[in-house]
Homo-oligomer: A and B are copies of this chain.
Amino acid sequence: MKLQEGPPESWRLRLYTIIFEADTRAGRAFDLALVGLIVASVIVVMLDSIASVRARHGTVLTTLEWMFTLLFTAEYIARLSCVRHPLRYARSPYGIIDLIAVLPTYLAFLVPGLQALIDVRVLRLLRLFRILKLGAYVAEFGMLGRALAASRRKILVFMFFVMMVVTIMGTLMYVVEGPDNGFTSIPVSVYWAITTMTTVGFGDITPKTDLGRVIASAMMLLGWGTLAVPTGIVSAEFTAQRMGRAPTTRTCHECLSEGHLPSARFCRNCGARLPAWQSDEGLWKPEGEDRAEPS
């Protein structure tokens, strides 16, 4: 994911190998030290936010924070200086995360309190997968991501409906309960509707009128049951993936209908013979039970 270094400027190459590659001993040591520093800096920020701890160790913690920030800034500059196209790295996802990881401390000069956002550094831990060669985990991560991506349209449709329902229900409760009962405005009522439909139920706002409670009951049952939908969508996708059924965009050349099963031999729509199915990973070979076909 990083850019290859071209001309043999040896200090740059050596730096690149240490920072970006993890095959040499120095590279590996660097990566592990980096992970340790990231975790340590996040813990320092967390401790600094606890009033009692800050009262006792404030100076130490602030010093440590600056130390971490300077180290990470130096590392960032080192990264930029040893790749061939610094701008391309700076715009890549990892590059942006690395930048966001150092910015908050500097921004805190302008807006005190933003310092806590240093915790965004934890995103840098995403590189853990690559560093520790957690290959199998990366593969699982990829499979998860692909399955979710395959059902993204269904999920978006579902979210659209949820937003519509909470808006209408929230407005209804605002009209029924009114500001005296805690529903001070429509946005607040929509916030309440979300806490209710997602079954979180903080309880900071609760319906007091009878009609309000009836509507709330209906919403709770609806939200409770509605959770079944995204779960069902995701389960179906994971199950299909697990059983060897990739999302088929298999098309019939005659009538252009889509969605034929991987194991189908004839088009269900026009009867024409379907060509063998090609997928991203080459010629798809059916796996699982439904290909129990002797010659």
Contacts and interface: CB of A to CB of B under 8 A. Distances in A.
Interface residues of A, number: 117
Interface in A170-201: 171-172, 174-175, 178-179, 184-188, 190-191, 194-201
A32 interface: no
A241 to B, nearest CB: 7
A288 interface: yes
Contacts of A195: 201, 220
B266 A260 contact: no
Interface of A: 42, 45-46, 49-51, 113-114, 116-117, 119-120, 122-123, 125-126, 136-137, 140-141, 143-144, 147-148, 153-159, 162, 164, 167-168, 171-172, 174-175, 178-179, 184-188, 190-191, 194-204, 206, 210, 213-214, 216-217, 220-221, 223-225, 227-245, 249, 254-261, 263-271, 273, 287-295
A178 B51 CA distance: 12
17 contacts: A49-B174, A140-B153, A144-B154, A199-B199, A199-B200, A202-B203, A202-B206, A225-B230, A236-B242, A243-B245, A243-B261, A245-B288, A255-B292, A256-B294, A257-B292, A265-B271, A266-B268
A200 B184 contact: no
Nearest to A154: B140
A49 B185 contact: yes
B186 A198 contact: no
A267 B266 contact: yes
A53 to B, nearest CB: 8
